Chains A and B, each alone.
Chain A
Amino acid sequence: MFRLASQTDPDMHDRLPASSTGNAPAPASAPAQRRAAPVRRLLAVYGALLLVGGLALGAVAGVVSAATTPLGHVDGQAVTEAGRGADLFLTSCAACHGVQGAGTANGPDIRNAGAALADFMLRTGRMPLANPGAPAQRGTPYFSNADRQALVAYVASLGNGPAIPNVVTSGADVRAGWDLFTANCAACHGPAGGGGAVGGGFVAPALNKADATTVGEAVITGPAPMPRFSFSPDQLDSLAAYVAFLRDAPHPGGATSPEVGPVTEGFIAGVTLLGLLLVARWVGVRRDTAGDPLAEEAAGDPHRTGAGTASDPADDQGDPTGGRG
């Protein structure tokens, strides 16, 4: 029910060479060129802080926006919004996706992306890209809520894509969500949603910032290289509920991180071992502080009167300090 039409480019975020500009009009005022990478990074950090601080707020906002915005193929109101959306599209999106959203050499055809994918990309700050080759990663949203909704409505009006799903986690079956998650998601996003590398330079993002709507949008649209899943609305609710559960998952064993796994544990074990080495160094004697010998096993031991002493006379004289200060 949520399947996109087949001509949508699955490699929506493929890293295309920046040199091949194709036939795009490429207005100079495209936001991509206006923003320098460091500023963007700062913004991303700031946005991350904001998001962590106001997760609950964000979730509420997401649900509200999804519930109150008449997107997709509703005519009346959408036309007005799409008018504003068309303007924004021309200035911010058409450089890569083409004036009609049909795609250029720099960006894929998004005519059938639908409101779901457009909202996913814009609301999580993945679009617009800093430049055509950049990876689409979570960042600070570029557009205000009103602008985004207008843009989403415009993109939705371009073709026949899925609408923004209405994902409600309260009362959802979290156990079913666990089942779905381990079977379909953990292979890339990790058992605790910590994310991971999936090859080809792509990274499955950590899910600790993904609200219910974001999860639902990603699952039904499959932002490349993620596959699309044909889940029922109930399944989407369950899955989003489990992702929300992971965010505050109980960790009875003590401190933990979303990146659970033996690599993290190995590093912590290494630090522990360093601590133990310091303990041993404290318990034992460092040669430079050693005083007089406390005890000495006498000569004459049958195991110590072999060829060793005779054949290696230089050992003791070679370095009177013992080489240890």
Chain B
Amino acid sequence: MAEGERPVDGARPGDAAMPAEGPASDLPERRTELERVLGWFDTRLGLASTVRVAMRKVFPDHWSFLLGEIALFAFIILVATGTYLTLFYTPDGRQVTYQGPYTILQGASVSAAYASVMRLSFEVEAGLLMRQVHHWTALVFFGAIAVHLARVFFTGAFRKPREVNYLVGIGLLLMALGEGITGYSLPDDLLSGTGLRIIDSVMLSVPFIGPWLASLFFGGEFPTVGILSRLFVFHVMLLPGLLIGGVATHLAILWLQKHTQYRGHGAREDNVVGLPFWPGQVFRSTGLFFLTAAVITLVAGLIQINPVWLYGPYVPYVATVPAQPDWYVGWLEGALRLGLPIEPTILGVTIPSPFVPGVLIPGILVGALALWPFLEARLTHDHAEHNLLDPPWRTPIRTATGAAGVAVFLVLTLAGGNDVLAVMLDLPVETVTMIFRFLLVLAPVVTWLVVYRMARDVRDGHERRARTGTKPEPPAVLLVRGPGGGFRDAEQEP
């Protein structure tokens, strides 16, 4: 049955009850128990035909279509390990006396939340492993999202009719960022609290509404005892709920619109070439899930992450160094570190210095990313549907712009670790900061120009060969074996 023949509206449950295409008189008494049970459900729900169509959904083969799946699998691991952590975590900012087995801290005054994370780390069975798998998976999760987004962007998969799903994806990215930031803050260790203090400052910097915004979020003036329970609700209920709904929407739209695909091998605008879901992609994906889980668990089991016992509990007047957010928030941290220490007063309103790098620039960057499909359609006047992907060299402007965006992101992320880099490079941290300020302006421009020229040259080469009908010749090298047994290039002088 062709994928397109979906049940029409008005079809009744049971219309397609028989799993086989054969006539109804095909020996119904010999049906197995399983078929009888399935048949029972099918006469009531009428899902057989839908499932049959779904089973035949075709997935393109190319490995770059698996990047989003890695993100999905990471999310599943996060939900599973996070559920375990939730069983033992206490979202309580009130002070208790630490009595656990980590002797250094015995008798210290810590928050109940911090104490529960210490208990997770040192007393709960597999608690530390779960913490580390959760944290490492979160770091990999954002990496997978980033490369998935890069694949979608640089191949033009966001074009009509997929702009909506692209926006859903951007929404998922933002919700995931919210998850990351709230999760980073929950252990209430010294780095957590430092991060919250920065969030507080950025919120306060918003003109007009800043103090109200921060007060609304923190439930008073920072530091508040109640902030952890608020973050907890966001981290384990609101945002996961939204993420699960968003992921479901993301996949449903994908299912409905079908995959994009690369050109060649019989791929056309009106078909999808690849593996059917059953019995093909389901095994590929299952295998990838377990391999993803295996790689992350291996790393998480061998390499320590976020040793909250070394950082100690959050005390507002205490600091530690190097103090960074997790890498996916590094670009926001970097923007703040590169931000100029100026506070202009415009029309009687003072703009605090964190506002431009902390709110305005990230807002512009995310906005540009989200609106790119519409911007590109307007610029190119291309409002047609596209199911075949562009290799990046076909669209030099898009590719160059995307590469420039990546350059900005990289510079900001590296700038977020300017103090660590300063030690590594043996330079004063102020010098490193100045270098990054220049790079932030220069890198995207240079990247844009270089990538544009490269993509255009490759495209012109392809077009020239397409016009003249010649196929690209692989560079042939003739090897000659010498008397000594070695090989040399025949065209080179011995």
Is A275 in the interface zone, CB < 8 Å from B? Answer: yes
With a cutoff of 8 Å between Cβ atoms, the chain B residues found around residue A295 in the complex are: 56, 58, 273-276, 280
| Given A175-B103, A287-B265, residue A323 in contact with residue B394 (CB < 8 A) | yes
| Given A319-B466, A323-B391, residue A293 in contact with residue B66 (CB < 8 A) | no
Give per-residue flags for A286-325: 1 if the beta carbon is below 8 A from chain B beta carbons, else 0: 1100100111111111111111110110011111111111
Q: Are B387 and A308 in contact (CB under 8 A)?
A: yes
Question: Contact check: which of A200, A294, A305, A316 meets B263 at CB < 8 Å?
Answer: A316
Q: Are A265 and B327 in contact (CB under 8 A)?
A: yes
Q: Within the complex, what minimum Cβ distance (angstroms) separates A10 from chain B?
A: 19
Of the stretches A21-29, A65-73, A105-113, A183-191, the one at the interface is A183-191
| Given A253-B128, A295-B273, residue A315 in contact with residue B263 (CB < 8 A) | yes
Question: Contact check: which of A186, A249, A276, A285 meets B321 at CB < 8 Å?
Answer: A186
Q: Are A255 and B462 in contact (CB under 8 A)?
A: no
With a cutoff of 8 Å between Cβ atoms, the chain A residues found around residue B428 in the complex are: 197, 199-201
**A281 to B387 alpha-carbon distance, docked (Å):** 22
| Given A275-B295, A294-B280, residue A304 in contact with residue B271 (CB < 8 A) | yes
| Given A188-B321, A301-B270, residue A279 in contact with residue B417 (CB < 8 A) | no
Q: Are B62 and A297 in contact (CB under 8 A)?
A: no
Q: Are A293 and B274 in contact (CB under 8 A)?
A: yes
Q: Are A191 and B305 in contact (CB under 8 A)?
A: no
Near B by CB (< 8 A), chain A positions 200-243 give: 200-201, 203-204, 242
Q: Are A276 and B70 in contact (CB under 8 A)?
A: yes
Of the stretches B21-29, B138-146, B239-247, B398-406, the one at the interface is B138-146
| Given A254-B304, A269-B139, A307-B385, residue A186 in contact with residue B320 (CB < 8 A) | yes
Q: Are B140 and A272 in contact (CB under 8 A)?
A: yes
**A237 to B80 alpha-carbon distance, docked (Å):** 46
With a cutoff of 8 Å between Cβ atoms, the chain A residues found around residue B65 in the complex are: 284
With a cutoff of 8 Å between Cβ atoms, the chain A residues found around residue B385 in the complex are: 306-308
Near A by CB (< 8 A), chain B positions 298-357 give: 299, 301-307, 310-312, 315, 318-327, 330
**Nearest-neighbor residue (CB-CB) of A195 within chain B:** B423
Near A by CB (< 8 A), chain B positions 262-280 give: 262-276, 280
Inter-chain contact total with CB atoms closer than 8 Å: 314
With a cutoff of 8 Å between Cβ atoms, the chain B residues found around residue A281 in the complex are: 63
Q: Are B305 and A265 in contact (CB under 8 A)?
A: yes
Is A260 in the interface zone, CB < 8 Å from B? Answer: yes
| Given A190-B321, A298-B3, residue A254 in contact with residue B301 (CB < 8 A) | yes
**A281 to B65 alpha-carbon distance, docked (Å):** 10
**A279 to B284 alpha-carbon distance, docked (Å):** 11
Near B by CB (< 8 A), chain A positions 155-190 give: 174-175, 178-179, 182-183, 186-190
With a cutoff of 8 Å between Cβ atoms, the chain A residues found around residue B306 in the complex are: 262, 265
Give per-residue flags for B194-207: 1 if the beta carbon is below 8 A from chain A beta carbons, else 0: 00000000000000
Q: Are A301 and B63 in contact (CB under 8 A)?
A: no
With a cutoff of 8 Å between Cβ atoms, the chain B residues found around residue A260 in the complex are: 304, 307, 310
| Given A284-B284, A323-B393, residue A297 in contact with residue B271 (CB < 8 A) | yes
| Given A298-B4, A307-B384, residue A245 in contact with residue B271 (CB < 8 A) | no
Is A266 in the interface zone, CB < 8 Å from B? Answer: yes
Q: Within the complex, what minimum Cβ distance (angstroms) separates A302 from chain B?
A: 6
Is B376 in the interface zone, CB < 8 Å from A? Answer: no
**A203 to B264 alpha-carbon distance, docked (Å):** 56
**Nearest-neighbor residue (CB-CB) of A298 within chain B:** B2
Is B249 in the interface zone, CB < 8 Å from A? Answer: no
Q: Which of A182, A190, A198, A324 has its CB near the most chain B CB atoms (within 10 A)?
A: A182
Chain A to chain B contacts (Cβ below 8 Å), 7 pairs? A187-B320, A199-B429, A251-B304, A295-B58, A304-B387, A306-B385, A318-B466
Question: Which residues of A are in contact with B by a Cβ distance under 8 Å?
Answer: 174-175, 178-179, 182-183, 186-192, 195-201, 203-204, 242, 245-246, 249, 251-256, 259-263, 265-266, 268-270, 272-273, 275-277, 279-287, 290, 293-309, 311-312, 315-325
